[in-house]
Structure formats: C-alpha cells, structure tokens
Structure 1
C-alpha cells in the first residue's frame, strides 16, 4: 500500500503558508482570513471563546466537549474503554452489553478519568528565554525544567481544582501557559456495546466506509452535583451535507511536521522498527492469552485493541518515511528553507550550526535510545503494578525536593492528578499482569543480553516468568488504599515497604533516571535550543502563518465534508448510512452486529447518515473531538482517520487525507430508536 502525498503540500509545511484545509491551529492564532476564503465563514472572538470553553480534554490524551448545560460530555467509546472495563465484571460486562443510566443516581463513577476545561492562555516565552539565556546542556535542561515548573506552580497557586501546563510550541520557539479548570468527579452516562462502537474492528480501523458508533457520554460533577455548563455545543438537528464547512475542536497529540530530516531519519530507522517488532509480538501474546477463556478475553480486550491501533499507526508512519516521493519532498523542503536562511546574513548568523547540532544529537540518541525506552519508559516492565510502584517510589523521592527541581510530572501542580491516578479502584488482573511482565522481561533480556549487569540485577538466577509471577502475586499495589498509604506516608513509608514491585523498581530506578538525564541533556536540550534558532528564522520569513506541531494543546482545524478519489479511480462518498451497517453484518467477529441493533431493525431509519468523512487535518489525540458547523452545532464526533491520514504525523495530503466521524444524525437515531435513551435526547435539545 503506497501513501500518496502531494510534494507541493509537503513543502508548504516548512517553507510557506499552509495549504487550504491544512493545519492544527492554536485557538489564540486562528487564520480567520484563510478560513473565510475556504468556508465563507469568519469565526470572531466570541465564537472562538465559546469553542474554547465548550471543549474539554480528558487526561490521558483524548478530547471531548460539553453538549448540554448540565455537564454532559461527548467523547469516543474508545476514550472511556478503561472505565468501561473497570466497571465490568464476570457478572455484568458493560463492554459486551453497553451501559445506559436512566437516572442521574445510576451514573457510574469513572475514577480514572479527569476532565480539564481550558480557561486561559498566556504567552510565557519571555520568562523561559530569560531563565535559560546563555545556558547549554545540563545547565539549560535544569534551568528550563525549573522555570516551567515554577510557572505552572504559580499559575495553579496550590488550588487542586486548577491544572496549569506550560507547553512548548514551534520546537522551543514559543511557550504558552494553558490554565485549566480540573474536574475529577466524572461519571458514565451512556456507552454502547463494544460490538457497536468498534464494529469492523481492526480490519476497518483507519478505513472508510465505516459503520461504527464510537461514542459515549460522561457527566461532570462537582460537590456531588452535576455542574452547570452554559458553554456547550448543541447537537444539530439537520446535520451536514457534502461541501459544508466542518470545524474540529480538540487536542491533537503530537506531530513531527517541523522536525528536521535528521530527526525524521532517527524515527524511521530506530523508533518505528523497534516499536513494531515489540508490539507485533505483544499482540500475539495478548491474542493467545484471550483465547484461554471468556474472562481472559475480557481482561485482554482493551490492551489488544490499543496495541492493534498503535501497530497500524506506526506502520503508516514507517511507510510514509520510507516512501521515496514523500521523504524526498521533506528533504527538498528543508533544503529550500536552509537556502533561504543562508541567503540572509542576519538569519544565517542567528541559526548558525543549528542543523548540524541536531544531526549530532540524533547520532547520540541512537546510542541512548534502547536504555531510555526499556528503563525510563517501562518497555521492560509492561505492568500496571510496576507502573504503580514506579509512581509511588519516585513520589517519595521527588517530594523531598523543591517543586522546581523535581521531575516535571511530580511538580506541585501535577500532584492532584497523580493522587487521583493512584486512588483509581480499577481492578488489576493478576494473570494478565504476569503474562505481560513475563513477556517484557524476556524482551529486556533479549535486548541487552543475559550478561548485562542490570539484567542480572533484575532476574538474578530466575527466569522472567518466575520473577513476574513472584512480584505480581505478592504485591499489594493493586489496592488503591495501599498505594495512597504509601503516597501519603512519603519516603519513610515507601522505604519501609517490602512490596516486591517497589523492590523491583528500586533496582532499576537509578539506571532509568540516568538514561532519562542523558537524553534530556545530550539530545533534548541540544535539539530544543537548535530548533528555537530555526523557529526564529522561520518566524522572520513567514510570521505565524505556519502552525506549530501538535502538543496535546487546544487546536482548531477547518475543512469541509468531502469524500475522495483513490489512485485506481474509485470514488469514496463522504457518508455511509445505517442501512449499510445492516448490509455489512456477517454475524461473525468483528462484523457481528450488536444485539440491540439487531432487535431495532424495524425501528431505525435505514437512510440515516451514520459515519462521515471531512478534509479536517487531525492526528491522534483528536479522538473525541467535536466536529461543528459555523453555528457552533455538533455535526459529528471524530473517532478516526482514513488510511491516507497515517502519514499525517509528517505532512498533510489534501487529496485523500480524511477525518472519520460518527454523524450526529446517526448518534441521534441510535439514542432514540436503538437504546431508548429519550431522557438524553431531551437533554441534548432534540425532538
């Protein structure tokens, strides 16, 4: 499968203004003139402010939006899959059966979900630059960490209901402070069956036509009552038609469109192959685990879906970077940018050897990467219990330091979210834990060899399965009360603990920290300083007509409802219908229709639009984003991209890159005539 990419469009990413429909624009720098030209609508300050306050972010990487005045939040089913799994049991499986709260008291707590509402954006570039001026390497990394932590701490002011994130934009060319209202009492109001939400499964993932109801509804509470949410997106009763404008509001996770060729080569040659080898073997282990019995299948369900999605994403990225036309366009784009810089003596002096510094840093990264990914990023310890142990162990050490000197995730402004994570009562499945930890420890030994000092320290004279089984079965960290006891007790309590998972994490913590420190100082600090110089030159050449790479911060994308033409001439229409769902049903996984839909066959309108595509420019993290029209009404719920969107991490291809969404009319029809959720229909303002 070849990912066709427009060379001209790719070059525009680095050396000129964005192509029509392209871009994930920060909400405080929206290209209103370009939007007006492309859609006929000019978003004013009032429209943008309402969009900002109606949007929410789900801690963990998904997007969502308020859709009623009573705290009702719309997001994807796959964004709340962990909550659904946690609420499920052998007696009541909400993954298989779906969930509908008919009254507010029946809504069930999603203890692991935190919702953030963006209330303020502040440019803090001058503060960061002043704190880091003249510093390099370790000194720069320390100064940057300290100033960002201090900015976040001062913003939150010790208020646990606020979250403040200092975000790097343009690879260090600009820093924005995002201030959020934090909500930690979030409850599930509605979720369809997994068979409906992910109809088509992995074969349909990143494809279209689609027939999935990947939606769910949460409700935000405060002080035991649903919050009032006057800023919200109403659901459209008319929906959309081909050619209509579509605006997507959400927080795309990360892109690499402004990165240098040296950085992209590192991803192509190191990151992608390493991940794919590991992930594909892990998928096989999960499949085999799930075949044991029904309980194990349920326990592995979410992990399997997640890893299958990640595999397809990284295959797409790898193919894009290996595509000669695509990568050649990126090389040409960088060459043209460098030529423009060289032609201007002032810019040339400012940029200096920035590109060469990045190349050297990537060469060093090759040497450091495997230790970083296995130890600091926990590939060698693929276990919920191990991660709990890491969090508790480091919390004890880090909280002895001033906030600005800690690892950023342990700064004062981040502690409320950490505490909520540790208090999550989600069950830990011991058999799955043993299977995954055994696998990851085996791969750890395979990567570094049995004679490696750290491998010996971890395994001793035991096998990976013996170490995993002993640690999992004896650990008490599956109990949130024990995790909180240790967290609240601080270092003294943690040091006194004989929990085997904490002991295991203590064995590797110094090496993990060292791996992180080396990358932060020898790679990240070097690249960020060099990229900041390049970013300033880019600003001088093009101003802010170039959007920053995605950073999990609020973005707006504009486009229109439109299908595409495949390379073989096949026309792909922009809408599917509910009738197509019934035609696609085979009765066998993953194309087996949910029973509620089978029962509703005589009640639903088969002509109702169900899924749709648009030209909006999105990436991972946009899951759960609302697609709205010019009136600020929901016309769809983003849940995927098509296969051509998989190169979107590195460039936007306007001819075939498409956003995939659940059409608002399909969601409305499902709530009315499949699930009998008339109270929700009424709350959404529908008839």
Structure 2
C-alpha cells in the first residue's frame, strides 16, 4: 500500500509501529547507544567506560561471525559453528576434527585457522559530509564511481599501516550516513578448543531456529601476533553462572545484514524474485550434495561443512520468505511506510524517493537472472572458481590507481583478500565438480539454451563435461600457484593455462558489464533516493533511530525471557539433564560420546541454553551475552523461528535470541572434554580484568 489513503485499521497499525524503535528493538551503533531508553526500560544504563571496555573486548571474525576476548592472553569465545570451516580445513582422513572435536593440551598445540582474521573496532568517524561532497549532483554510474573513489581514499588515509589495521567505510541508512570504522586486526587466529559436532549441533536441522535447545555451540580461538598470543588486558570477565529470568542482557556483535528500511517495492522484489529463486537453488543443490555424500564416509566428511551451510541458509531464507507472506506482518510494514510518507508529504527537499526506487526495482527485475548467474558464475558453488574469479579481477584492478578500483580490490581490502587466497585450504575434486556442474545446469535452465552468454561459456559441452574439464586440469588447488598468480598480476593471468582461470578471463568482461548496468540503473538512483528517505525518517521521528545491520559492531539490549507459542508458554531456559531426556539414540538426537561418558559427573540442573529478547540477526553468531556488571554469561548462537522475520522487522513478543550459557561451557571444560589449562586461564582472567 503506497500513496493511498489509510483506513482506521491501518492508521492504528501506523500509530503502533511506525514510531522510533520500541524498547528492546534495535541493533545500535556504538556511537549512538540509546542509554536514556535503556535507563527508562530497566532503571539503569551502561556508562561510557562500560561501553568502551565492551567495544574493545568485542571481536569480528572474517568468516561472518562475532566473538569476544575473555582472557588477557588473546583467548576468544565464539560459536562452534563459526569454527567448523577451520576444523574441516584442518581435518584429514582418519582425523576428523569436526566430528571428534579439538582440545589443545597447551598453547603450542593450538592450530592456525586458514583464512581467518580477528578484528577489533578502535574508532568510528562520521564521513557523511565528505562523501556527500564527492557525490554532489552526480547521477548514474558517475555517482557510484565518485562515491567509491572517495571511500577508497578515506580508507587508505585512515589506515596507512595495513599490516595491523584495517579501515572500512560503512554505508548506513542506505546512504543517509557514512562512517569510517578503523580496526586493529590479527591475521593469525588459532583454534584452541571445540566440542564434538554432535554436541554442538544436537537436534540437527529439526531443532535449528527452534527452542528448547540442548546445544553446546561454543568454541575458543586465540589471536596471535609475531608467533605469540596477543596481550588483551581489556577483555570480558568470564562468569560461569546461570542467567536469571528477567535480568537485563546485552548482545554485542556484528549483525550481518537486515532490510528493515526497504520500501514496499523492494520488499516485493525480495518476495517475488530473489527469495524464491534462492530457495529453489539451495534446495536442489542440497539434494545433489546429499546424494554424493552418501557414496562414501570420506565424501560425507568432506561435504559436511558445505551441507551445514546450505541447510542453515535454506532455513533462514525460508523464514524470511514466510515473514514476507504473513499478512499481519506485511500490513505492519506497509503501514510504517504509509505513515512516513504522510508525515513528509509536501516536503520539497525530500520529494518522492519512493517512486524513484519503484523505477529502479522495475529495472532490476529485468536484469536479476543475468546478475544471479553471470556476476559470479560458478563461484557461487565452487571454491576453486572463487579463487579464479578473484585472481582474474584483482589482476586487472591492481593496475589501476586505488581510487579507480572496484570495491573489494582497494588497498584497504587487499591484505585480507591475499590472505584468503594464499592460505592452505583443502579442496575436493568431487565437490568442486558438483558445484560447477550445478551452476552450469541451472544457468542454462534459467537463462535459456539459446542465451548468448551461455552459448559462449558452455559451447557444446554439457554442464558435467564443463565441470570435469575445469576441475580436472586445475592448478588452483595449490596455494603456491595461487600466490604465484597473485604476485605475477596481469601478465601471470594472461600466461596461465589453468582452465578455471581461462574460463573467468572469458566471463569477466560480461560480469563487469552487468555490474556497470546495476550501478547505473539501480545502485545510483537508490543511493540518491535512500539518502532522502533517511532525511525523511529523521524529520519525522528524530535522530533516535538505528540503521540496518551492516556486519559492523552493534549493541542490542533485552532480558532473559520466554514467550508464548500457540497458547503455551515456552520457558526461557533448558538444563543439561534435558539432553538425556531428549536423546533417542538416533541422529540428530544421538548423544555425543562425551555426554555418554560423563553422564554420572555432569550437574544435570546446570542451565544449558537460554533465550533473551535481544534483537539479533545472522552475523551475531558468537556474540557474547553480557550481564549488567559487564561479565559474559553466554554466547548467542541462534534465534527462534520467529526471529527470521527480523530481517525485515522486530516483534518483541516473539523474537528471541538463543544462547549457550557459560555455566554449561564451564561444565564442558571441566568434565565433558576436560581442558584444565583453558579453564584455569578463564578463571584467572576473571580476576585480572
């Protein structure tokens, strides 16, 4: 409902929901924490010292997760599912660290996680005026280039020491604000402790995004520098106590992406185009992957991490799809937009940004399939293809001045890109072939056999033959060869006979053309329109607003609290003894070996998992759950099924964060998978903080 008169019911909805964030809603940036709102809700709010200490203790992991320092020697608390990729990469036939877990007896035996980097925010600076000046009155592709060029310059100037720092300009409110985030980075991150997979993911996919839960989804990493553990005198106090119902809790982490500020036209695109296609692709690929994994125990191990990611993504996207097809939920969102439009009607400075976005979305519908299948090509499903795409693109971009490069290839981004390209990571030919052939078959199906791009890329080969040729002849599995191509630049790429490199050398011009079209027809007009939408929101509701999530550090506040599901109360906590009651002896409710062996020694009434009203989204995985005194009492690892709609809006009566308690983790460290040195470090750190 856009631009039409509101009836009585819609007006009531607008009054109820369109105001600034209600208590407990919001993922707040650290330079705009709503302390007065927190004090009004709970009679207390954190002071600046509390916030500064918490910010300096919070960690962003480049795999897409959050974490926190919990000892003075660089020890990092996060989720097990945030380290599965690391464990998979370090595993081998006969040594499955995912299934069996990992427990370093001492620091000398902690193992480096390929591709991982830990980052801590050190400063946040508003650069909105600077970028706005660079954009000026430009439109189309020129706007995008001017914006990106100024961002590259600001990032380079802000972090001249790229060995230890990383700078990132973040777009907030769709272009209404720009902030320069500076990070202290640690490129040597090692695994210290992780439980068995069956304990971390007990209940499997049926329990995923549900509650009650009985999951030990926790792990410990450690940051190193110059071969030694990093000194982190500022860290969270380890507090292995049970949460208390009703107590205030803070979740501090890096929520990945929300779309709460989308217009009705943009939400329609999500509902009718992007989400249905994504769900179909994930579902079919999952089926093909499962079929291949059933061929042998080794394939089951090698494909496990990919399967886990696919199943988690599918459930998350399906929850978003259901939310956008819920009449009550979508009526609330429509009422919010209608209320905002009514409040700023006639404001000439704001104009009608909604109509401009409508036109941009219409153009995006026409190019969506090309962008989906040709922008990244088989890199959607193949690690080797991802390497090839990055190497081909980087070789061309690095020859340009920093300010003229595409995002992701500027000086500030290159160190992490190089690390992830050249770290040692195992690849599996069968899995690579499966990914490439699946992409080729789906691209041909959706774009059409007569599509000029598919004719050029496939020729007369079948998807399976193409995949076999690209993977069988590859050299990219060797990190030394990837490093050679990276250092050799455009000349090395041109001379390479690797079939995957040659494939992406052919695809890259088309991929660039698609991006240029997207910049001109969607990104530029939407950026300009959303900047005015931000002005509209500030004019209508004041500046006590939070921006959409951007995988940057945020704080949410809430309380330990259950909810009512179909008329029945859902308690806020489970206890460890409930694991044995839920167990059936069959997957996914089969007990981990550690639980079987330690049954007589576990304190069965220890609080295991718990829920809070904190507002989170994907990317918050591993975020510490922090008590009023600044101590960590849990780590967030999931949301309930209702929280999946949190991508588009928050409902405090239903949305819940799911966390594993530090009390349960302490039981794991002391009794189930004993790690006496780690346990002693945590206890000592809680005294020295």
Q: Which of 196, 200, 208 is 1:197 aligned to?
A: 200
Indicate the residue corresponding to 1:628 in structure 2.
626
Report the 3-state secondary structure (helix = DSSP H, G, I; strand = E; otherwise coil) of the residue aligned with 2:454.
helix
Indicate the residue corresponding to 1:257 in structure 2.
260
Report the 3-state secondary structure (helix = DSSP H, G, I; strand = E; otherwise coil) of the residue aligned with 2:413.
helix
Q: How many residues align?
A: 677
CA displacement, residues 62-116 of structure 1 (integer Å, 9 cap, x when unaligned): 1000010000001111111111000011121011110000111100010211111
Q: Distance in 2 between matches of 1:190 and 1:430?
A: 29
Report the 3-state secondary structure (helix = DSSP H, G, I; strand = E; otherwise coil) of the residue aligned with 2:216.
coil
How far residue 177 of structure 1 moved from its aligned partner, in angstroms, is 0.5
Q: Which of 252, 277, 283 is 2:280 aligned to?
A: 277
The answer (yes or no) to whether the contact 1:10–1:652 under 8 Å persists in 2 is: no
Q: Distance in 2 between matches of 1:172 and 1:249?
A: 24
Alpha carbons of 1:624 and 1:370: their partners in 2 closer, same or farther (altered >3 Å)? same
Q: Distance in 2 between matches of 1:421 and 1:323?
A: 40
Q: Which of 50, 53, 74 is 1:50 aligned to?
A: 53
Residue pairs, 1:100-499, within 5 angstroms: 100-342=103-345, 345=346, 348-378=347-377, 382-499=381-498
Moved more, 667-676 or 370-379: 370-379
Alpha carbons of 1:277 and 1:10: their partners in 2 closer, same or farther (altered >3 Å)? farther
Q: Distance in 2 between matches of 1:8 and 1:614?
A: 31
Unaligned runs of 5+ in 2: 1-8
Alpha carbons of 1:8 and 1:42: their partners in 2 closer, same or farther (altered >3 Å)? farther
Indicate the residue corresponding to 2:644 in structure 1.
646
Indicate the residue corresponding to 2:586 in structure 1.
588
How far residue 304 of structure 1 moved from its aligned partner, in angstroms, is 0.8
Alpha carbons of 1:140 and 1:185: their partners in 2 closer, same or farther (altered >3 Å)? same
The answer (yes or no) to whether the contact 1:212–1:662 under 8 Å persists in 2 is: yes
CA displacement, residues 220-258 of structure 1 (integer Å, 9 cap, x when unaligned): 000000010011111213332100110000010111111
The answer (yes or no) to whether the contact 2:256–2:549 under 8 Å persists in 1 is: yes
Q: Distance in 1 between matches of 2:361 and 2:55?
A: 37
The answer (yes or no) to whether the contact 1:636–1:662 under 8 Å persists in 2 is: yes
Indicate the residue corresponding to 2:605 in structure 1.
607
How far residue 147 of structure 1 moved from its aligned partner, in angstroms, is 0.5
How far residue 7 of structure 1 moved from its aligned partner, in angstroms, is 9.0
Give RMSD over aligned pairs.
1.5
How far residue 12 of structure 1 moved from its aligned partner, in angstroms, is 7.4
How far residue 60 of structure 1 moved from its aligned partner, in angstroms, is 2.7
Report the 3-state secondary structure (helix = DSSP H, G, I; strand = E; otherwise coil) of the residue aligned with 1:412.
coil
The answer (yes or no) to whether the contact 1:158–1:413 under 8 Å persists in 2 is: no
The answer (yes or no) to whether the contact 2:18–2:335 under 8 Å persists in 1 is: no
Residue pairs, 1:80-91, within 5 angstroms: 80-91=83-94
Alpha carbons of 1:81 and 1:57: their partners in 2 closer, same or farther (altered >3 Å)? same
The answer (yes or no) to whether the contact 2:378–2:385 under 8 Å persists in 1 is: no
TM-score calculated relative to the size of structure 1: 0.97
Indicate the residue corresponding to 2:671 in structure 1.
673
Alpha carbons of 1:665 and 1:216: their partners in 2 closer, same or farther (altered >3 Å)? same
Indicate the residue corresponding to 2:76 in structure 1.
73
How far residue 429 of structure 1 moved from its aligned partner, in angstroms, is 0.5
Indicate the residue corresponding to 1:3 in structure 2.
none
Alpha carbons of 1:235 and 1:10: their partners in 2 closer, same or farther (altered >3 Å)? farther
Q: Distance in 1 between matches of 2:234 and 2:11?
A: 40
Unaligned runs of 5+ in 1: 1-5
How far residue 466 of structure 1 moved from its aligned partner, in angstroms, is 0.7
Q: Distance in 1 between matches of 2:327 and 2:526?
A: 26
Alpha carbons of 1:251 and 1:424: their partners in 2 closer, same or farther (altered >3 Å)? same
Q: Distance in 2 between matches of 1:10 and 1:601?
A: 52
The answer (yes or no) to whether the contact 1:10–1:653 under 8 Å persists in 2 is: no
How far residue 52 of structure 1 moved from its aligned partner, in angstroms, is 0.6
Q: Distance in 1 between matches of 2:512 and 2:356?
A: 24
The answer (yes or no) to whether the contact 1:609–1:666 under 8 Å persists in 2 is: yes
How far residue 507 of structure 1 moved from its aligned partner, in angstroms, is 1.5
